[in-house]
Structure 1
Amino acid sequence: MLVPSFRPAIVSLALSVAFLGGCAQKPVALKTVKNDAGQQYTVYAVDDWSHPEQESEMEVADSVMPLTSLVPADLVNAQFRGHDRKIAKTSISDADTEDFQSLSAFTRSLPSDDDMRNHDPALEEDASFDRVEEENRNVKVAAYVCAIKFETDSDWHIIVAGDKRCNGPTFFNVEVSGLPKRNAADYATLLQARKDLATLLADDLPGSGTYRRYDPPLHVQIEGSIFYDIDHAPGVVGPTGMRPSTAWEIHPVTSIVAIE
């Protein structure tokens, strides 16, 4: 299989980390980057976050890259390693795409967290548990990328906001999913979404570790299927000050491109 060509676009390396007692004193500037769309931004390490995907929850994929790999081709081609609701996370709804004018308009269209956490029938963690009716939607919406983290299930958690400075009040989690098996119907589309993210970030993809914050936030258009995360309570995913108040997600993302 062909892998994407990676062209470094890092403008400058920045500051080193200052730690005291294992805790970062402040966000650490890692580098300044300019992508092909002309968006220039500084990347910061964010040490204040919680609720990672646990390694004990992972399955062995057919092709497993080292979790510490920073090689862009390894990251782009990484197979999904999670278990819970694997089918839903690695497949795309067959619904028509709904186009929203704002992130807040999109989030207002979602059923409440209470309704989903008390769903009848109950949402299950089983790998084969597919989308329920409320999740059978595809959406398109513009937003600003605030922070990104690569998880051990090979998903990228992307915290987005409607505000161009990521000051809230609306934050949302969108996930570029790890890949299904190569013979899966949606493999090519989900691979392209991972390539989209590589292009957006000028091939400077986050590997295993902490969240990265982007300043100024990257203006993007996102498309994908919606999904309700029963593994995490509302308000726990993401860095402090950027945690979505809902457990709804766009997952998997099918396209994420810069708005120039």
Structure 2
Amino acid sequence: MHAQIVLFDGFDPLDVIGPYEVLHAGGAASGGAVEVELVSAEGPREVVSGTSGVTLRATARLDPESVDLVLVPGASGRVGPPGERPDDGLDGPGGHQPPESVPVLLGRTLETELPALLERAVRSPRTTVATVCGGSLVLAMSGLLEGRWATTHHLGADLLDATGARAVEARLVEDGDLVTAAGVTSGLDLGLYLLEREVGPRIAHAVEQLFAHERRGTVWRDRGPAPVPH
């Protein structure tokens, strides 16, 4: 499995590093069956996260048709209202610029090449698309999740619904070739589930033991009878 994890300006480092380490360890445990790299829509470059002082390097350009997995993280920044615009609150006290909000950072990705590349990933029959936290909102705001089951951080659930996606309150949601994860730490669970799904449960279990981390929750799928309301 060849995986690419997308970096964009303002990304959340934990959304990236958690799945990256899990997939990288899966590659070692499987004798090289998993390859993972950090990429951006623009190609190789230093990408500044939304967490002060943390920068990661994208080593290649996102190439959605040639890989098996594309993973999109969320953003790290000030918690702001979902409707906040990129030009809201630019000047703080004394003219200083406050930390940018998560909605603004996610919305700014729409001004890049990323939405077009993600559309190609979603349409590619060979590519699974996965997201952590606000990464599903990047897809949703790009018009790519209409009618699809998905999850995100609980603070973004209303925005996910507003885009036409079918929001689910679950840690992991699988909708065919779309796998979405909720809050930041769910990226570890996402990485382990992707290893189980694509490489096998024995490899996923070995990595789970190595990291001393037990996956939480049930992977939600639109299968079986609906629960009876209480």
Could you state the TM-score of these two structures normalised by the residue count of structure 1? 0.23
Q: Higher relative CO (CA 8 A, sep ≥ 6), structure 1 or 2?
A: 1
More strand by share: 1
* TM, length-normalised to structure 2: 0.25
Structure number with the higher helix fraction is 2
